[in-house]
Structure 1
Amino acid sequence: MSAVKIPFDLLVDGEHIAATFMEPQKKLPGILFVHGWGGSQQRDLERAQGISGLGCVCLTFDLRGHEGTQDQKKSVTREQNLTDILAAYDQLIAHPDVDPSCIAVIGTSYGGYLAAILTQLRPVCWLALRVPAIYWDAQWLTPKQQLDKPRLLDYRQQPLRPEANRALAACATFRGDVLLIESESDEHVPHMTIVNYRSAFVQAHSLTHRIIDGADHALSRESHQKAYTYLLTRWVSEMIIGVRTGP
């Protein structure tokens, strides 16, 4: 997204002299926000408002089983929610102002897990994952609400190789830039899960890992919400500046 050079002839006193317009490219980066299980787009809207000011087109949405489709919460599957994300992604890149080669996906918890899988199905330039959850590949079509929670927590405390999990396998082939944010006192996503994600990004162009000290999974304290907003906005700004000043 470097500037575009437009040479032209400038007419002065009947003579033509060489001149050049230097214009910014008209297409903008697109950013897709994916909320976590039990969440909604409301928190994402607040952050999208600030990040859009950097010169991006942001899209937030509610996964099926949440907000207006709450009645589906007991029946919705990971397959259906991944389909939701694919539809949102396709809507974003169809926006006339979006550069489809500069897409960021920002996912939280369950949304981060699905966002990782998305990178194998659609082109993604930048990937930000806050407290990304992990789930076994089996029972993919089982309603998400029915998955055994104690067993899940045990699974998340195990070291996992990328080939053993669909989301981690996607991370292992991702070549873009990554932001990985961990909550120090997370009661749902233990440190080992973050280690598994971090270790999987073997081909990433860059990997930034940050820990929000004292934070729980939901960032219940407003100071932790602000810390996350600061980290995310700073990273997105760095990515956008990098692509705009690149060759």
Structure 2
Amino acid sequence: MAAATTSALPTIVIVPGSWQLPSAWDEFRAVAARAGHEVYHVSLPSIGGTELPLTGLPEDVAAVQHVLDGLADHGDDIVLLCHSSGGVVGSNAVAGYDIATRKALGKKGGVVRIVYLSAFLLPKGKSLLDMLGGVPLPWMIVDGDRVTGDPEMMPEIGFNDLPADQQAYWAQQVTWTSAALFAAPSEYEPWNNGIPGAYIFQTIDNALPYNLQQNMAQQLQLGPHPRNATMESGHCGFLSMPDRLLGALKQVIGGN
């Protein structure tokens, strides 16, 4: 877990997607910190894990909740920013940590909004693999208990809006994700439990296409005060346009 600066603005907790190391978020974290936000990136055990058996969704959820525990008890208003498969982790981790639930229990702090950035919103009982049609996508390589991205395809799939040299660089700065994460069913729907949500669409995303983002984001209409913003970016807008991402985040945070 890494943090930067302190302020009265909402604390941003980043729940990353598969394969990417924390360094991929460094520039966005710096941008948000300069704007006055305290920022945390949660290192998920399913990403690059080495202890066998490799862990999955429950352990990732526990890692996020460990961060939320300390921040909420400190009284922080928290925005949970979830990217890609991190949407599943964040959705499950927020259970019981939203500010309304905590206030009803006489506790301070909590999550004021969960924000999905080209992220998966899964109906309860469905897994990531279910949402992919039951089989890995063509650019995913399954090797036993690990899933990686095809190194020949990753530059265009994950980093298509970056210059060629940066595409090549970031395509090398990845690791594996536990196959267990993809198989685990989601157990919580924040939008059906009174937790405000928002979606930041990335319109030229080759990993999670725009139309699929739109389809999943419709679920947020079932919850309170849904919001959205749009970026003309690929899957990793935090790399290609971190300033624009912060602007989009502020747009969907609104008064919080």
| TM-score, normalization by structure 2 | 0.60
Shift in Å at residue 103 of structure 1?
A: 0.9
TM superposition outliers: structure 1 runs of 4+ over 6 Å = 146-149
Superposed CA offset, 1:138-194 (max 9, x none): 598xxx9x999651569xxxxxxxxx9645x32233443523323434335672354
Matched, 1:235 2:248: yes
Deviations 1:75-129 (A, max 9, x none): 211111111111121133345xxx43x2101111111222123333311212221
- Max Rg structure: 1
- Stretch moving more, 80-89 or 47-56: 47-56
Question: Structure 2 CA distance, aligned partners of 1:104 and 1:50?
Answer: 16
- Paired residues, what number? 191
Instruction: Indicate the residue corresponding to 1:29 in structure 2.
Output: 10
Structure 2 residue runs of 5 or longer lacking an equivalent are: 1-6, 99-110, 138-184
From 81, 88, 97, the equivalent of 1:122 is: 97
- Is 2:61 the partner of 1:87? no
Other-structure match for 1:77? 56
CA contact 1:132–1:189 (8 Å) conserved in 2:
no
In structure 2, do the counterparts of structure 1 residues 119 and 27 end up closer, same or farther at CA, with 3 Å as the change threshold? Answer: same
Q: Distance in 2 between matches of 1:238 and 1:180?
A: 10
Distance between the aligned counterparts of 1:241 and 1:192, measured in 2? 25
Between 1 and 2, higher relative CO (CA 8 Å, sep ≥ 6) is seen in: 2
Give yes or no for contact 1:178–1:204 (8 Å, CA) kept in 2.
no
* Larger relative strand fraction: 1
Deviation at 1:207, TM superposition (A): 0.9
- 1:11 corresponds in structure 2 to none
Percent identical residues: 11
Unmatched tracts of structure 1, length 5 or more: 1-25, 155-163
Q: Helix, strand or coil: the match of 2:17?
A: coil
1:174–1:226 Cα change, 3 Å: farther
Q: Can you list the C-alpha shifts for 1:21-76, whole angstroms capped at 9, x where unaligned?
A: xxxxx744211011111112222232122112222211113111335xx3148621
Going from structure 1 to structure 2, the CA distance change for 1:131 and 1:211 (only over 3 Å counts) comes to: same
Partner of 1:15: none
1:150-229 equivalences under 5 Å are 151=134, 166-167=187-188, 169-176=189-196, 178-188=198-208, 191-212=211-232, 215=234, 217-218=235-236, 225-227=239-241, 229=242
- Alignment partner of 1:53 is 2:34: yes
2:223 & 2:132 partners in 1: Cα distance? 32
Q: 2:86 aligns with which of 111, 115, 137?
A: 111
TM-score, normalised by the number of residues in structure 1: 0.61
Distance in 1, matches of 2:215 and 2:204, equals 13
